[in-house]
Structure 1
């Protein structure tokens, strides 16, 4: 069970929950971390081991390799059972999609308790025979330019990071002499990919050799080990869709509307758009279903989980992702979360679209720390936005609130019920750094202040 050492009370509580759910009996850790762990026996400090240890054991492809606990941004954390064959499949898929081979340097800072760090930055280079270079997440957060220097220092680089990392890097800017011409692939995934992020990153780092086709928006989830789909070697694509049609479940291109980034096409698995148990044609919005060797066998100890085991195309074992999407001109677009969908007066609003508008409304709003959710009270259905105040920002609260209200109204025709501006760090987050909407709703949804 890949886990992070707890550094605060919330992380310690989550760790205790995972331990109780998984039934783990032995700790494997390093000497640097051992002292931070709660009392537990036995503990194996791996960097203090001497000798070869036990003989290798043959692993059946269908036996569990590890449990990947979901981040909890959309549900209580649950351990996806990842069998050995799924690791091999995910590495093959990633190697094929991103052309990772023995000459590739996989470089990054994503921690190994996160599926992206574990598979894309650790297992993939081992599978492909390439090289792996790491830095700590704390180093990146405090000095985003160090990530860019890391990418510039090695040949034939593949890297992977969530959307907010590309925003932080663009905000930090480029150093003189930076050369990113040998970055082959920069994967953007693990959270919604925003159109403005890629354009800003390319604007800042294009003059320093970063090629547009190296930027690869991607889609994946823990229940599929990590990889589902990605942009190809041609680089990022996108489309502008009519907002009203999209809200009614249809993707219709227009000149002025909702811009979405394509997450490309799947490799080594089947992806379908499904509504009411039936596959949908191109252009129709529905739930994303996945079938392939990379799909987990279920959640640990939860045999009745409805996410696994659906039937389609005469095949059992489809994964219902809970994500909404649409296939347009052969490309997959992720439009939102089924459970997070905000419905007001019969219209569908995707939280990440509202969050994107609010995040760009004013410099005092931290663009990657915004939560939008629906509320139902005596006044009917409505939407609420909670946004973190950017560090060091100085602005009038009423001015920022009005800017958020105007931006959401102008882009989505939606009048927000409330806007809460909270201090930096005030929004609850998952272990992987995503804003936890359900926890934000529980904390702020009933607050009329």
Structure 2
């Protein structure tokens, strides 16, 4: 095997060409197809095969579009998706990772995103071709459709990729209104992958990434496609739908791997625990999993504890030091900070009342508290906690908005100049603490605090519920609601205008495991109201109980509070006071 000489700032497309030359027959990506066969059929691709297929697809793309034009990827997870992303980069075009029109419940979002990015061409896989043709035919913009059929290229190798060129547009999975695509350059992508490597993988080699997250999701794209392409390591992945049907498949693919990492949002760890059968953990060997990344949404201490306790008790060999809470967002490519220190996740119980007033003070024994999980330290970038409305960095212990500065931070949104300036062009006012630049800063819209030098995320600024002058975090109310009785599943908490103040509404799904005899709506409603009042000194305006699957979710599976609130308000007075089952 020829030794590869690679640089830490080398774009991913150039790295792929390097691995194809230096390790051509090494297995790169393996897609395990559970939808065709429940047992899972692996389909592998070597570095040279990926390079040849990407080169062939890039040649076809150049015939219908020019450099800098958008290539929308409308396909399910699979090897074709990886080929499509690489081909767009080889062709000097901007990839737009999306999803096939067959994904249920997100047709409006796909249509809006398609119109916003205005693609010159669309890439799909053979199985999705008919649906994609129908989708494109119904659009105002008729892009050329190219099917990734595995045809190898015959032309010359691709030219060098420029770091300042846009690699792809990342559309947030949680957007419910006009979508905004983040312009991720090749330089942003390379910088963030290198930061992740330093923070979470280190010098381990070889490693295998085992993941199921959708490839149009920022964390899924980085964990499954980008990190292996940057490091020349192996990726094993499968479809999110296959995970939702049987989450134990995730653990089985991780079992026996000598050195593996994986990544998922907090809800996935909870979902996995709920769906595991009595014998599902028998025989699993998870000793080789060196990193269980938990990010993309607030990390809950209770979830970390339950997951580690159950898998450890089952004798799987889970290393509790391998669990890594993390923080990131699409505007920073994905990764900002993580607790990757090979220790058990650090949690701190903060005084709930003081936290609501903007101060993070450890609670005294027996006092009402909110337990938050540390997301560790940023790697290769700067983070400031900034006072709301004043653009002044605050010291440790004070809650403020999280601002980020680094080579991984995108420069703007696609065709959104005013929104871009507000988000990516922030400047610190007044004296700037040592080591921090004046600007430009990314305003994340997330609330956080530094405690003992580590970053704790307290909530989302737009989701913060301010009632009678006090701050309440929706995830705290949701956790209290879910724990009030054992028959509730997903929960969404949000505020609505009520006369001259804001009222808090809780929408809760019936757990799929709840029997008919356990489902007593009036009693459940009283229990939830009582629990939230006692824990948060908060009187709920309304409690709505709904059937499983009623609460809207994003394309990555997270609860969408905004969409749930919109549905609730659309129902008007008919929604209020319903303690029985129904649709939010």
Q: What range describes the TM-score normalised by the shorter chain of this pair? A: over 0.9
1:146-200 Cα offsets, whole Å, 9 max, x none, are 1111111322010001111111222215421111111100000111111110111
- Report the equivalent of 2:567: 443
SS in structure 2 of the partner of residue 218 of structure 1:
strand
- Report the equivalent of 2:161: 59
Whether the 8 Å contact between 2:121 and 2:144 is mirrored in structure 1 is yes
**Aligned mate of 1:20, from 98, 115, 132:** 115
SS in structure 1 of the partner of residue 543 of structure 2:
strand
- Unaligned 5+ segments in structure 2 are 1-95, 429-435, 578-584
- Report the equivalent of 2:254: 151
- Report the equivalent of 2:505: 384
- How far, CA to CA, are the matches of 1:346 and 1:150 in structure 2? 49
Establish whether residue 231 from structure 1 lines up as the match of residue 339 from structure 2.
yes
- Report the equivalent of 1:243: 352
SS in structure 2 of the partner of residue 228 of structure 1:
strand
Whether the 8 Å contact between 2:281 and 2:311 is mirrored in structure 1 is no
SS in structure 2 of the partner of residue 234 of structure 1:
coil
**Aligned mate of 2:317, from 202, 209, 227:** 209
- How far, CA to CA, are the matches of 2:284 and 2:531 in structure 1? 36
More displaced 10-residue stretch of structure 1: 16-25 or 379-388 = 379-388
Establish whether residue 416 from structure 1 lines up as the match of residue 518 from structure 2.
no
- How far, CA to CA, are the matches of 2:297 and 2:176 in structure 1? 12
Whether the 8 Å contact between 2:211 and 2:223 is mirrored in structure 1 is no
1:160-179 equivalences in 2 (<5 Å): 160-171=263-274, 172=276, 174-179=280-285
**Aligned mate of 2:399, from 281, 285, 291:** 285
**Aligned mate of 2:327, from 211, 216, 219:** 219
**Aligned mate of 1:431, from 548, 555, 558:** 555
Alignment coverage as a number of residue pairs: 447
1:440/1:176 Cα in 2 relative to 1: closer, same or farther (>3 Å)?
A: same
- How far, CA to CA, are the matches of 1:364 and 1:73 in structure 2? 30
Deviation at 1:379, TM superposition (A): 6.5
**Aligned mate of 1:268, from 380, 405, 417:** 380
1:354/1:73 Cα in 2 relative to 1: closer, same or farther (>3 Å)?
A: farther
Establish whether residue 309 from structure 1 lines up as the match of residue 425 from structure 2.
yes
- Report the equivalent of 1:2: 97
- How far, CA to CA, are the matches of 1:73 and 1:402 in structure 2? 33
Higher relative contact order (CA 8 A, sep 6+): 1
- Report the equivalent of 2:32: none
**Backbone CA RMSD of aligned residues:** 1.7
Deviation at 1:370, TM superposition (A): 1.4
Deviation at 1:356, TM superposition (A): 1.3
1:116/1:297 Cα in 2 relative to 1: closer, same or farther (>3 Å)?
A: same
Whether the 8 Å contact between 2:326 and 2:339 is mirrored in structure 1 is yes
Which TM-score applies when normalising by structure 2?
A: 0.74
Deviation at 1:75, TM superposition (A): 6.0
- How far, CA to CA, are the matches of 2:178 and 2:508 in structure 1? 23
Deviation at 1:391, TM superposition (A): 1.7
Deviation at 1:17, TM superposition (A): 0.6
Structure with the bigger percentage of helix: 2
- Report the equivalent of 1:334: 457
Which TM-score applies when normalising by structure 1?
A: 0.96
- How far, CA to CA, are the matches of 1:199 and 1:212 in structure 2? 9
1:76/1:324 Cα in 2 relative to 1: closer, same or farther (>3 Å)?
A: farther
- Report the equivalent of 1:107: 210
Whether the 8 Å contact between 2:109 and 2:176 is mirrored in structure 1 is no
- Report the equivalent of 1:300: 414
- How far, CA to CA, are the matches of 1:204 and 1:169 in structure 2? 11
- How far, CA to CA, are the matches of 1:314 and 1:218 in structure 2? 24
- Report the equivalent of 2:223: 120
- How far, CA to CA, are the matches of 1:75 and 1:209 in structure 2? 44
More displaced 10-residue stretch of structure 1: 244-253 or 229-238 = 229-238
- How far, CA to CA, are the matches of 2:374 and 2:529 in structure 1? 28
1:348-367 equivalences in 2 (<5 Å): 348-366=471-489
**Larger Rg belongs to:** 2
Deviation at 1:320, TM superposition (A): 0.1
Deviation at 1:213, TM superposition (A): 0.5
Whether the 8 Å contact between 1:215 and 1:235 is mirrored in structure 2 is yes
- How far, CA to CA, are the matches of 2:475 and 2:362 in structure 1? 20
- How far, CA to CA, are the matches of 2:456 and 2:259 in structure 1? 28
More displaced 10-residue stretch of structure 1: 42-51 or 194-203 = 42-51
1:330-351 Cα offsets, whole Å, 9 max, x none, are 1111111111111111100011
1:257-276 Cα offsets, whole Å, 9 max, x none, are 11111111111100110011
- How far, CA to CA, are the matches of 2:339 and 2:116 in structure 1? 36
Deviation at 1:8, TM superposition (A): 5.8
Deviation at 1:443, TM superposition (A): 1.1
Whether the 8 Å contact between 2:383 and 2:404 is mirrored in structure 1 is yes
Whether the 8 Å contact between 1:373 and 1:437 is mirrored in structure 2 is yes
- How far, CA to CA, are the matches of 2:171 and 2:512 in structure 1? 31
Whether the 8 Å contact between 1:102 and 1:129 is mirrored in structure 2 is no
Whether the 8 Å contact between 2:213 and 2:556 is mirrored in structure 1 is no
- How far, CA to CA, are the matches of 1:51 and 1:277 in structure 2? 52
1:356-396 Cα offsets, whole Å, 9 max, x none, are 11122222211xx2111112222632211111122242211
1:371/1:219 Cα in 2 relative to 1: closer, same or farther (>3 Å)?
A: same
- How far, CA to CA, are the matches of 2:117 and 2:282 in structure 1? 49
1:69-125 Cα offsets, whole Å, 9 max, x none, are 012357642100000011101110111111254411110101100011101221101
